Amino acid sequence: MGREVRMVPPGWQHPQEADGRYKPLLDGSFEKALAEWTEGKKKWEEGFRENWGAKEGEPKWKPKEADETCSWVEWNGSKPQKRDYMPTFPEGTATHLMMYETCTEGTPISPAFATPEELAHWLADNGASAFGDMTATYEQWLATCKSGWAPSAVFTSQTGLTSGVAATKERG
């Protein structure tokens, strides 16, 4: 969760709800999420669950524990819906960068720009939220635009609570 750069076509407009608010959209491939959910459901019904943290050479699936008696949907959540994901843009068309907050599934906090520098200038000049009511400098936004993401916030004994965008410049 935090701030994330997503690639979109020039002039792309993020969908809005009827009341004008942006519709939160998950990033990533809907098709991949659906395939993983479907495979997990099949394995669950066969008596297995994913072996999280499996090391190389260990099986991806392991038998369910005796107390894992709930349904697949209760265990893993509802089947992914295409309407909840960013669209899959035709190859080569997503050439612009747009900053998203990912504390929800993802809503834009900027328009789309052709370069990281243009995006960083817009974010800094417009006092975009780096975390809550915290903003960030051009240099901090630029580092985030180039790395592609920043966590919501970071706490250190030296700086206390600061936005992940501000910390991105520090981590380089």
Same domain, residue pair 100 and 65:
no
Please report the pLDDT score of residue 156 as a whole number: 84
Same domain, residue pair 21 and 94:
yes
Same domain, residue pair 41 and 24:
no
Q: Is the pLDDT of residue 170 over 70?
A: no
Please report the pLDDT score of residue 127 as a whole number: 97
Same domain, residue pair 161 and 133:
yes
Say which residue the tokens 């580092």 belong to: 143
Same domain, residue pair 42 and 63:
yes
Per residue in 124-156, pLDDT (tens digit) is: 999 999 999 999 999 999 999 999 999 999 998
> What span, in angstroms and rounded, lies between the C-alpha atoms of 18 and 64?
43
Per residue in 38-55, pLDDT (tens digit) is: 999 999 999 999 999 889
Same domain, residue pair 58 and 46:
yes
Say which residue the tokens 């935090």 belong to: 2
Residue percentage of the chain with pLDDT more than 70 = 98
Distance between the two ends of the chain, CA-based, in angstroms? Answer: 19
Quick check: helix, strand or coil at residue 62? strand
Same domain, residue pair 71 and 108:
no
Quick check: helix, strand or coil at residue 47? coil
Structural domains in the chain (count):
2
Quick check: helix, strand or coil at residue 114? coil
Same domain, residue pair 91 and 75:
no
Per residue in 82-132, pLDDT (tens digit) is: 999 999 999 999 999 999 999 878 999 999 999 999 999 999 999 999 999
* 0.75 surpassed by pTM: yes
Among 49, 69, 84, the domain-final residue is: 84
Domain extent for 104 = 2-28+86-171
Same domain, residue pair 11 and 34:
no
